[in-house]
Amino acid sequence: MAKNNWSAKRERQYNDIKTELKQHGRANDVAEEIAARVVNKARARSGEAKTASTTSTDDISSGRRGGLR
């Protein structure tokens, strides 16, 4: 994880997501991976990341996708 490049906002977002997942019974390592993926995708969509895949920028946002499930 390249967390050292994250802004303070992204750090808070990562910690909030990880905490929420752990409260819902996810294992710590799984919660960390999911939270990092969500934050990295959000960074790619907003142009904060140096590189971004096509699916990261053109796909439906992770927050919206979670609401649809």
Give one DSSP letter per residue of 14-38, joined into a string.
Answer: HHHHHHHHHHTT--HHHHHHHHHHH
Q: How many domains does the chain have?
A: 1
Answer yes or no: is 34 within a domain.
yes
pLDDT at position 56 is 67
What is the domain extent for residue 39? 8-45
Read off the tokens for 56.
Answer: 């990261």
pLDDT at position 58 is 73
Give pLDDT < 50 ranges for the chain: 1
Read off the tokens for 9.
Answer: 């906002």
pLDDT at position 42 is 86
Answer yes or no: is 55 within a domain.
no
Answer yes or no: is 17 within a domain.
yes
Answer yes or no: is 57 within a domain.
no
pTM for the structure as a whole: 0.72
